[in-house]
Amino acid sequence: MRGAKRLTILTGAGVSAASGVPTFRGPQGLWRTYRPEDLATPDAFARDPHLVWEWYAWRRDQIAACQPNAAHEVIAQWSRGFERCRVLTQNVDDLHVRAGTDGLIRLHGSIWELACWGDCGAAPWRDEAVPLRAFPPSCPQCGGLARPAVVWFGESLAQSDLDAAFDACACEVFLTVGTSAVVYPAAGRVHHARRHGAFTAEINLDPTPASSAVDVALHGAAETILSDIARRLTP
């Protein structure tokens, strides 16, 4: 990392775990209690928008009380310190935004943004109200139902984000941090970067499918390991 000009970091829920945001998989993961097909698909929303909104409202309440942790802070610092740094995140909590991260690509959107479910043409809008002002929230343009502007299972990522993530793989160092590396296309980026000659490293509590593909797998908490690396990089 000392000599690198282009750094890319892919992050997942594990980066926000120390802030108190629950992860999806693992012993305390959200998908242990809830089924993604009931809560995080367009079909689920079409079937029962109230139920889906209740779940998102609960998560918004939870996240609103959380602060960025040392992992977000180190990544934010690197995002400004390297000649080119790209941070690809699967997290919708915006804690990277709150830590002041430059070059951030939010692959799965933001829980703090809403969009028109009926696709009336309104641009997605920001709504940080906790609790929500109206339940379920509605589109300010057409008055129809609003949805969280996040990417659900079965939906495509924004083409501009996919392109940016593809370009970000042309780097010297690629770190995959706090992600179970099972959800594509995000999980594929580390392989792509490696094929393009990047030095790749994983930082995660547990081994993942990416562990055997990276140059070095460091197992431990992201907030501890990233702080440690940052200290060692300081001249």
Separation between Cα atoms, residue 113 and residue 125, nearest integer Å: 5
Q: Are 38 and 195 in contact (CB under 8 A)?
A: no
CB 112, min distance to ligand OAD, A: 15
Give the x-and-dash track for 108-147 against ligand OAD (CB under 6 A).
Answer: x---------------------------------------
Q: Which of 65, 153, 209, 233 binds ligand OAD (CB under 6 A)?
A: 153
Separation between Cα atoms, residue 69 and residue 129, nearest integer Å: 22
In the complex with ligand OAD, which residue's Cβ is closer, 73 or 138?
A: 73
Number of neighbours of residue 213 by Cβ within 10 angstroms: 15
Stretch that binds ligand OAD, among 16-24, 55-63, 93-101, 161-169 (CB under 6 A): 16-24
Does residue number 101 form part of the binding site for ligand OAD (CB under 6 A)?
no
Q: Which residues contact 132 (CB under 8 A, 6 or more apart)?
A: 53, 57, 60
Considering only residues 40 through 69, tell me which ones interact with ligand OAD, judged by CB under 6 A: 40
Alpha carbon 178 to its chain's center:
10
Q: Which of 13, 114, 173, 198 binds ligand OAD (CB under 6 A)?
A: 13
Separation between Cα atoms, residue 169 and residue 175, nearest integer Å: 11
Separation between Cα atoms, residue 183 and residue 191, nearest integer Å: 13
Q: Which of 63, 190, 208, 210 binds ligand OAD (CB under 6 A)?
A: 208
219 has catalytic annotation? no
Rounded-to-10 torsion of CA 110, 112, 118, 120: -100
In the complex with ligand OAD, which residue's Cβ is closer, 77 or 138?
A: 77
Consecutive H or E run containing 215:
none
Q: Which of 50, 72, 96, 108 is an active site residue?
A: 108
Give the x-and-dash track for 184-203 against ligand OAD (CB under 6 A).
Answer: --------------------
In the complex with ligand OAD, which residue's Cβ is closer, 7 or 221?
A: 221
Residue 37 φ/ψ, nearest 5 degrees: -70, -15
Which residues contact ligand OAD by CB under 6 A?
12-14, 17-18, 23-26, 29, 36, 40, 90, 108, 151-153, 178-180, 183, 204-206, 208, 221-223
Catalytic site residues?
108
